[in-house]
């Protein structure tokens, strides 16, 4: 096992009615910016519940954070935050609202160009605290320090990570997910699944606990994902999906193990260039990447096949082939297509993505930094 430091500072408020508890988590003297997306919270009643919980607080609102939040929109919220001397941000929504809140928290008192936080890893020291009310189980953003922001003007989707912007608390009420369209539940299942894979499917380092935790999250997603899709108002299915997605990227299974993240990096370029949903890009890239990296990932692919998919063929290459197919079939079963052509994209994509990877310095990806531009192109060609 590799050395690690582990601390998760986010207080999880899980379950029905827990949103009421936020009134005690934020001082009444706070000047709160309530940040949300395109309005789903107004039609499903979450907005009203948050307002009720904060009836004794001073709240300014900023709505309209889009999926794959844009730098351009978030900078408007930064301007509002500066004007109103905001000192707390409450994000209400999915990964986009929460990631947006993290960027605003870092940018508010940053003296230079805030885009440098994303592209030049510029240091920021003065941040304001964040809380989250999660409405979409997928990203784990509610209890990690990651933020992904897109600059529309240059088609660049970039990320930064800091414990300074990790939410202090996160409300996870499974009932808040009942109103999600099927497509977003499908996306959430795939995103969480791939988060586990990025931290698991590398090479063995005798990290037994991390491996078995990771496998149990995958097994839970395989089991509960299709059920959560079929029965939108089944509390237990939604609760298990919500907790699985959170556990998939809260730092626990990634502590002390090598990590990959190349599926995400290649996928981010597909979203930046063609506007595909985040999870759609992952469903396209991962199966092809597993195939291209099958020798480097041999031991973990066999372990995944045997322990998670119960594939017990004596021949390890057969186990690997069947495991890759099982992962691809799972994505299709939960409704996320796995080929570029399914999204009306053709061979042109390969060079465009490779050019963007190069521009963003993504030329040595993977747990061994061996996914160069040639390999990225091979992965994309396989996914056509
Ligand atoms: O904007 P509204 O109207 O709220 O609608 C949203 C949006 O259209 C809707 N939605 C959310 N909750 C709902 C709901 N509709 C009905 N009922 C509800 N309860 O769902 C749509 C998608 O929302 P979004 O927040 O964009 O989705 P998600 O949570 O999948 O977040 C995706 C973003 O997170 C980033 C992605 O790159 C992408 O930008 N990621 C963040 C990560 C992190 N912080 O650790 C890791 C991930 O790998 C990912 O990169
Ligand atoms: Zn993801």
Q: State how far the Cα of 229 lies from the Cα of 186, in Å rounded to an integer.
A: 7
Q: State how far the Cα of 278 lies from the Cα of 183, in Å rounded to an integer.
A: 12
Residues 248-266: pLDDT tens digits? 999 999 999 999 999 999 9
**Average pLDDT of span 291-299:** 98
Residue 8 pLDDT: 97
Q: Which two tokens stand for residue 248?
A: 């998939």
For residue 179, the number of C-alpha atoms closer than 13 Å in the C-beta half-sphere is: 14
* Helix, strand, coil distribution of the chain in percent, nearest 5: 55, 10, 35
Q: State how far the Cα of 169 lies from the Cα of 90, in Å rounded to an integer.
A: 10
Query: CATH assignment of 11-176, given 3.40.1410.10, 3.30.465.10, 3.40.50.80, 3.40.50.1970?
Result: 3.40.50.1970
Residue 328 pLDDT: 98
Percent of the chain scored above 90 by pLDDT? 100
Ligand with smallest separation from the Cα of 74: 1
Q: State how far the Cα of 31 lies from the Cα of 286, in Å rounded to an integer.
A: 43
Q: Which two tokens stand for residue 180?
A: 């999600």
Q: Is the pTM of this model over 0.95?
A: yes
Residue nearest ligand 1's atom 46 by CA: 139
**Average pLDDT of span 84-111:** 98
Nearest 5°: phi and psi at 199?
A: -105, -5
Cβ neighbour number for residue 250 with a 10 Å cutoff: 20
Residue 343's SS3 state is helix
Q: Which atom of ligand 1 is nearest to the CA of 141?
A: 44
Per the listing, tokens 């409450």 go with 90
- Assign 98 a pLDDT band (cuts: 50, 70, 90): very high
The best mutation among 92, 132, 139, 282 to test binding of ligand 1, ranked by most ligand atoms within 8 Å of the C-beta, falls on 139
Residue 146's SS3 state is strand
Residue nearest ligand 1's atom 32 by CA: 95
Q: What is the dihedral of CA 262, 265, 266, 272, to 10 degrees?
A: 170
Contacts of 10 (CB under 8 A, 6+ apart): 142, 143, 144, 166, 167, 168, 169, 170, 250
CA of 83 to the centre of ligand 2 (A): 33
**Average pLDDT of span 77-103:** 98
CATH topology of domain 182-382: Dehydroquinate synthase-like, alpha domain (1.20.1090)
Contacts 24+ apart (CB under 8 A), 261-267: 261/198, 261/365, 262/289, 262/365, 262/366, 262/371, 262/376, 263/194, 263/197, 263/198, 263/289, 264/194, 264/198, 265/357, 265/362, 265/365, 266/353, 266/357, 266/362, 266/365, 266/376, 266/379, 266/380
Q: Which two tokens stand for residue 362?
A: 């993504």
Are 167 and 143 in contact by the 8 Å Cβ rule? The answer is: yes
Residue 100 pLDDT: 98
Q: State how far the Cα of 258 lies from the Cα of 267, in Å rounded to an integer.
A: 20
Ligand with smallest separation from the Cα of 278: 1
Cα–Cα distances (Å) from 254 to 198, 257, 381, in that order, read 9, 6, 30
- Assign 365 a pLDDT band (cuts: 50, 70, 90): very high
Average pLDDT of the chain is: 97
Residue 74 pLDDT: 98
Are 41 and 62 in contact by the 8 Å Cβ rule? The answer is: no
CA of 64 to the centre of ligand 1 (A): 13
Are 141 and 37 in contact by the 8 Å Cβ rule? The answer is: no
Cα–Cα distances (Å) from 211 to 144, 200, 202, 220, in that order, read 20, 7, 11, 14
Residues 217-232: pLDDT tens digits? 999 999 999 999 999 9
- Assign 56 a pLDDT band (cuts: 50, 70, 90): very high
**Average pLDDT of span 2-16:** 97
Residue nearest ligand 1's atom 48 by CA: 139
Residue 10's SS3 state is coil
Nearest 5°: phi and psi at 52?
A: -65, -45
For residue 315, the number of C-alpha atoms closer than 13 Å in the C-beta half-sphere is: 4
Percent of the chain scored above 70 by pLDDT? 100
Residues 172-213: pLDDT tens digits? 999 999 999 999 999 999 999 999 999 999 999 999 999 999
Residue 18 pLDDT: 98
Please report, for the chain, the start and end positions of each structural domain, with discontinuous segments joined by +. Answer: 11-176, 182-382
Are 145 and 188 in contact by the 8 Å Cβ rule? The answer is: no
Residue 332 pLDDT: 98
Ligand 1 shell residues, CB under 6 Å: 37-41, 44, 67-68, 93-97, 99, 135-136, 138-141, 144, 146-148, 176-177, 179-180, 184, 187, 191, 249, 264, 278
């Amino acid at each position: 096992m590799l050395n690690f430091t582990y601390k998760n500072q986010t207080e999880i408020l899980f379950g029905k009615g827990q949103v009421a508890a936020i009134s005690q988590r934020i001082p009444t003297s706070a000047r709160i910016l309530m940040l949300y997306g395109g309005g789903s919270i107004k039609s499903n009643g979450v907005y009203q519940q948050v307002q009720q919980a904060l009836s004794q607080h001073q709240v300014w609102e900023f709505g309209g954070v889009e999926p794959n939040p844009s730098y351009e929109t978030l900078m408007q919220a930064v301007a509002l935050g500066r004007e109103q001397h905001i000192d707390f941000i409450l994000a209400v929504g999915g990964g986009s609202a929460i990631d947006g809140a993290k960027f605003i928290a870092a940018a508010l008192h940053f003296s230079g160009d805030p885009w440098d936080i994303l592209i030049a890893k510029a240091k920021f020291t003065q941040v304001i605290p964040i809380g989250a009310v999660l409405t979409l189980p997928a990203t784990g953003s509610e209890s990690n320090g990651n933020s992904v922001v897109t600059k529309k003007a240059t088609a660049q989707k970039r990320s930064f990570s800091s414990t300074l912007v990790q939410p202090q608390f996160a409300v996870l009420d499974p009932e808040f997910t009942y109103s999600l369209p099927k497509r977003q539940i499908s996306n959430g299942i795939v995103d969480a699944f791939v988060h586990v894979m990025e931290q698991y499917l590398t090479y063995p380092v005798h990290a037994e606990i991390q491996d078995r935790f990771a496998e149990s999250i995958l097994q839970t997603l395989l089991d509960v994902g299709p059920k959560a899709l079929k029965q939108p108002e089944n509390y237990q299915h939604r609760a298990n999906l919500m907790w699985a997605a959170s556990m998939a990227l809260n730092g626990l299974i990634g502590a002390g193990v090598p990590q990959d993240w190349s599926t995400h990096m290649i996928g981010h370029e597909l979203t930046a260039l063609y506007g595909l949903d985040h999870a759609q890009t992952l469903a396209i890239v991962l199966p092809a990447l597993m195939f291209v990296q099958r020798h480097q990932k041999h031991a973990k692919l066999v372990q995944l096949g045997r322990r998670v998919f119960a594939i017990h063929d004596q021949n390890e290459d057969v186990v690997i082939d069947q495991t890759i197919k099982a992962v691809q079939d799972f994505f299709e079963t939960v409704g996320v297509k796995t080929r570029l052509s399914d999204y009306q994209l053709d061979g042109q994509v390969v060079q465009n993505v490779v050019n963007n990877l190069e521009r963003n310095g993504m030329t040595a990806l993977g747990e061994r930094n061996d996914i160069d531009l040639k390999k990225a192109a091979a992965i994309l060609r396989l996914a056509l």
